[in-house]
């Protein structure tokens, strides 16, 4: 019987996919999607919210978004 890395991986290639594996792949894919969506949408939301909560001159209040995320300044 041949041995080595190629033989070790061929056993995994020929294995059947059980429902647990499909569930794990689905959960990992959804986790990746939501993480990527969060990174994409935070810039859009910050650019929409920043003008509302921006520095208000004369009121002594300041915006605290500068350290949170870049919002297109």
Whether the model pTM is above 0.85 = no
Average pLDDT over residues 24-44: 90
pLDDT over 50 (residue 13): yes
Q: Which backbone phi and psi does 19 adopt, to 5 degrees?
A: -65, -30
Q: How confident is the model at residue 32 (pLDDT cuts 50, 70, 90)?
A: very high
- Separation of alpha carbons 3 and 62, rounded Å: 67
Q: pLDDT digit string (tens) for 37-73?
A: 888 888 888 888 877 776 655 555 555 555 555 545 4
């Amino acid at each position: 019987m041949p041995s080595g890395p190629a033989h070790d991986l061929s056993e995994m290639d020929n294995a059947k996919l059980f429902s647990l594996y499909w569930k794990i792949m689905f959960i990992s894919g959804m986790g990746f999607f939501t993480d990527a969506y969060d990174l994409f949408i935070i810039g859009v939301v910050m650019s929409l919210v920043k003008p509302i909560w921006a520095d208000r001159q004369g009121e002594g209040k300041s915006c605290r978004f500068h350290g949170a995320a870049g919002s297109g300044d």
